[in-house]
A and B are shown apart, each in its own frame.
Chain A
Amino acid sequence: MNVEKYASFTLQDFLADDVFIQWVINPTDESNADWQLLVASLPEKVEIIEKASATIQQYRLQDTFYNEENKDLTWQRIESTIERQGAAAGRKKIFGLPALAFMRAAAAVLIVAAISFWMTTRNTAPKQYSFATAYGEIKTITLPDQSQVTLNGNSSISYAADWSKKTVREVWINGEGYFNVTHLNQDTTHIKPSETFVVHCGDVNIEVLGTTFNVKARHGKTNVALITGKIRIDYTEAGTGNKAVIMAPGDYLEYAAKKLLLTKKLAKPASVSTWRAKEISFTDATLKEIAETLQDNYGYTVNVKDSSLLSLKIEGDISVNNIADLLDVVSTTLNITIEQPVDKHITITK
């Protein structure tokens, strides 16, 4: 190593030096030895070298965003686009001009077949799939378009068994679900019906192209948290009629009794769906919210003697793996007594 080069170095010079940065970021036995030697012959630089290295190390402590949860889904999108393009290219080669007549004939046959199929099936209602979860059960369902829904406890979803290529993808949900919707749209200026995905939830409709979001519809109240992508919420407002709002990632809204009650930005959007990992978590929750979750998702009966207790709030985050731990945290933090004389029946007193 060129010792003379470093003899006149300032903090700024070290921070600009390739060899120095590589050593700080990626020290090897060899570079450690080199720099030890250098420091030994330039003792007056020790301080400045330590400072430069601390600055770089401190800078590198930054947050990371690896987006692992959408890795498989993004890959599926890549695969399906490549497949579709490959198929399109293949078709061009097979059907030259002479094939046109054949295609017309084939199309005619198809139309006839379709009409007779429709005639024979129109009297029977389209087949529906429904899934429901028990209290405390979490289940992930793959929809016909490969989109995924994770249902929280005591929730249900239904949708048509057959998703044709021409109609909107539609599901109906009760309770709470986390959606990861496959993105089919290629051209944002021309959105085909089949590229749209609609979640019907109470009297709110959520229209999406491809995103991840959490929906919760309980006690006549619907709340939606958008994690990635963009969605449109259609709702009716008392007095003014049909309304729509576009949500951006991190947006959260609450709707009940034909009114938009709350819209806000979430500091940690992903935390609304931590329940998927069977983790029970709350942020700045009141005892009322905790009691509701116990009843809604886990089938508990919660009896609060003094209703003023319901507004007690636990500031910050709670994250536990089971109900027993949750009750421990709640009773010690709020300094209240929680008794469970019968399994799943809880009494809360001061």
Chain B
Amino acid sequence: MRSEADPATWDLFKQGNWNAYTSLYHNYYSQLNNYGYKFTRNSGLIEDAIHDLFVRLWTSRANLGNPASVKNYLYKSLRNTLLRKIKNEDKYTGLDAEDYPFGFEVSYAHQPGAGIEERQFSEQVKAIVNALPPRQKEIIYLRFYEGLSYDEIADIMSISTNSAYKLLYKALENLQQTLGPSQLLTLLLCLDYFL
């Protein structure tokens, strides 16, 4: 969801308007935390990244362009800052810093009200998504949770639009493979109970 006020707020902020800057923080703080939390459960690290990101925004405001979407711009900056911090932490803790040195975890609380079939279905969706590699998990998140387009995802994840397409198709393929035709059938049958 994009708020209409964004471009105007962004313009004011670039001119050094402190209130506009403050409102950017208030509008995006919680969403940025939510996105960051998928990469690390260390909320202090996320707060540090948000701190660095906003300090940098203010100090370099005169040199900033006009992003197509303020939210996506902030997501991308947070992602870069946070991933750098996670890599650094890993260096200290001696963990292997691989190509993609972090996980991407989505978690679900118990849904007490749900019926058996619904819970089964939710377990299945959870299992499928958790089995995906981190990058595929992330693209599923940006797609199904944030509702972003391929172009926007490509920009945030710093890959080409074409790679974003491929990555999502791989994720969806994995999804179907994990299920298998027979399991897919049971899943679909389950669904019928509560639809």
Contact = CB atoms under 8 A, between A and B. Distances in A.
A59 B129 contact: yes
A60 B41 contact: no
Interface string B100-116: 00000011110100000
A211 B195 CA distance: 46
10 contacts: A16-B168, A21-B147, A25-B144, A54-B121, A54-B191, A56-B144, A61-B108, A62-B145, A64-B34, A183-B48
Nearest to B179: A11
A63 interface: yes
Contacts of B59: 82, 85
Contact of A67 (B43, B54, B55, B150): B43
Given A59-B145, A60-B145, A230 B44 contact: yes
A269 to B, nearest CB: 10
A202 interface: no
Contact of B25 (A47, A58, A59, A78): A78
B25 A75 contact: yes
Most buried by A among B50, B106, B169: B50
B149 interface: yes
A319 interface: no
Contacts of B175: 12, 15
Interface string A206-219: 00001100000000
A22 B150 CA distance: 13
Contacts of A16: 168-169, 172
B43 A78 contact: no
Interface in B28-60: 29-31, 33-34, 37, 41-44, 46-48, 50-51, 54-55, 58-59
Given A18-B149, A59-B145, A74-B29, A82 B58 contact: yes
A68 B30 contact: yes
Contact of A61 (B44, B122, B147): B122
B43 A65 contact: yes
A159 B63 CA distance: 45
B111 A61 contact: yes
A21 B109 contact: no
A64 to B, nearest CB: 5
Given A58-B122, A78-B54, A67 B30 contact: yes
Contact of B51 (A60, A63, A65, A81): A81
Interface of B: 1, 22, 25, 29-31, 33-34, 37, 41-44, 46-48, 50-51, 54-55, 58-59, 106-109, 111, 121-122, 125, 129, 140, 143-145, 147, 149-150, 168-169, 172-173, 175-176, 188, 191, 195
A249 interface: yes
Given A12-B173, A16-B168, A59-B106, 4 more contacts: A51-B188, A71-B29, A81-B51, A82-B59
Contacts of A47: 188
Contacts of A73: 47
A55 B29 contact: no
A293 B25 CA distance: 40
Interface string A8-50: 0001100110100110011000000000000000000001001
A309 interface: no
Contacts of B55: 78, 81-82, 85
Interface string A59-95: 1111111111011011101100110010000000000
B41 A249 contact: yes
- Which DSSP category, helix, strand, loop or mixed, fits chain A's interface? helix
B191 to A, nearest CB: 6
A250 interface: yes
A75 B55 CA distance: 10
A47 B31 CA distance: 33
B58 A21 contact: no
Interface of A: 11-12, 15-16, 18, 21-22, 25-26, 47, 50-51, 54-56, 58-68, 70-71, 73-75, 77-78, 81-82, 85, 183, 210-211, 227-230, 248-250
B56 to A, nearest CB: 10
Contacts of A64: 34
Contact of B172 (A15, A54, A78, A210): A15
B140 A211 contact: no
Contacts of B54: 78
B183 to A, nearest CB: 13
Given A50-B195, A85-B55, A59 B47 contact: no
Contacts of A54: 121, 191, 195
Contact of B34 (A61, A65, A78): A65
Given A16-B172, A51-B191, A65-B34, A78 B145 contact: no
